[in-house]
Amino acid sequence: MLWFDRSSLDSEQNSEQNAEQTAGTPARKFTGKFTRKFTRKPYVIRSSLLGLFVLFNGLSYIGAYSFTNLVRPRSIDIGIPRQAISKTPKDLGLTYRTERITINTKEWLELWSIPATPSAETAPATKGTIVLFPGSGGNKAQHLLTPAQEFHRLGYDTVLVDFRGVGGSSGHTSTIGVRESQDVTIVVNYLQQSAPHRPLILYGLSMGGAAILRSIAYQGIKPDGIILELPFARLLNATRSRVRKLGLPEFPVAESLVFWGGFQHGFNGFIHNPEDYAKNVHCPTLVLHGQRDPWTSTSDIQHIVQNLQGPKQLVVFPQARHELLVKVDRPTWTKTIDHFLQNLSVSSASR
């Protein structure tokens, strides 16, 4: 018969349990470190992605601001340098007067009016009035004097306009044709009140063309004809072209710039599409395009032309980029313009 000592047995069991606990301790410590390491990883990833998102949008916000802000010399602000008026029609031997249209107590538009002849008493009546609008960041001296000289030679009164933000007009920002469309409407209403029965033709360079199309679509102006030189079809596409030129990925940089630019100026840039505005145009339209334009493809231009509802003509300059076409090929430009205006006069006379 075997006898067991209870105290010895309990002592052995306690020793075994202590040994097991001692042996298990390092394993639990290792498991805890391992778990904390892996639970920290998603947090680090999320924080990094959030940081990149904030940084990217911050840079995009600044980029959109700098592309639409026009700064004067010696300004500490960021943006596109605001070009000074370097010459006047007088430098080209043209008589002119400076006019100012008051918009409100703080805003105005400055115009140059060049009569078709120096003296209305000694010359035939003008054929009509052509109103010229510049491209993005450009003023009436920089973008419009050379075309105006040709229009003048063809026998038309010309009015050269500075959008708000450039030249002699008030302001310091550009909205790539959105607010500028309101400027177009203001000028057209002003001129039609002073000469209601005179043929009125609008000429827009690049952004100026977009502003004209938007003014027709949204404000319902009714010019007798329009000339669109180097217009863009969709703001997003035009932005993508510029982003590509900078060597940056088109997506999502272009989308972010369009979003923040619209946010800063109170419009939706994704629906700022002149090709859609063209569906509301019923007057005769001449579209001029440079085949090598890096910002707008011939395909985009054709979309605008297809959507125009009235008589229309597209003329492509094979060697031209995004530049004043009258300086690239003056004879072809002038001949094309003259032909369009003559047909327009015949059409107006028949109505």
> Can you give the residue ranges of every domain in the chain?
30-68+251-268, 83-234+272-350
Question: Which residues have a Cβ under 8 Å from the Cβ of 102 and sit 6 or more positions away?
Answer: 108
Match domain 83-234+272-350 to its CATH number in 3.40.50.1820, 1.10.357.10, 3.20.20.20, 3.40.50.880: 3.40.50.1820
For residues 226 and 202, what is the distance between their CA atoms, to the nearest angstrom? Answer: 5
Q: Which amino acid is at 12?
A: E
The pTM of this model reads 0.86
pLDDT of residue 14: 53
Instruction: Find the helix or strand (DSSP H, E) in which 201 lies.
Output: strand 200-205
Is the Cβ–Cβ distance between 226 and 202 less than 8 Å? yes
How would you classify the pairing of strands 108-114 and 157-161? antiparallel
In order of 21, 109, 143, 149, the CA distances from 168 in angstroms are: 87, 7, 14, 20
pLDDT of residue 4: 40
Name the CA radius of gyration of the chain, rounded.
Answer: 33
Q: Which residue has tokens 């703001």?
A: 235
For residues 155 and 148, what is the distance between their CA atoms, to the nearest angstrom? Answer: 11
268 SS3 class: coil
For residues 259 and 266, what is the distance between their CA atoms, to the nearest angstrom? Answer: 10
Q: Which amino acid is at 118?
A: P
Give the DSSP letter of residue 227.
E
N residues, the chain: 351
Is the Cβ–Cβ distance between 129 and 200 less than 8 Å? yes
Q: Which residue has tokens 């076409």?
A: 325
In order of 178, 209, 214, 262, the CA distances from 266 in angstroms are: 10, 21, 16, 6
pLDDT of residue 17: 52
Q: Is 251 exposed, middle or buried (0-12, 13-18, 19+ CB in 10 A)?
A: exposed
pLDDT less than 50: residues of the chain: 1-9, 12, 19-20, 22-30, 119-122
Q: Which amino acid is at 74?
A: R
Q: Which two tokens stand for residue 91?
A: 């430098």
pLDDT of residue 195: 76
For residues 113 and 195, what is the distance between their CA atoms, to the nearest angstrom? Answer: 13
pLDDT of residue 111: 98
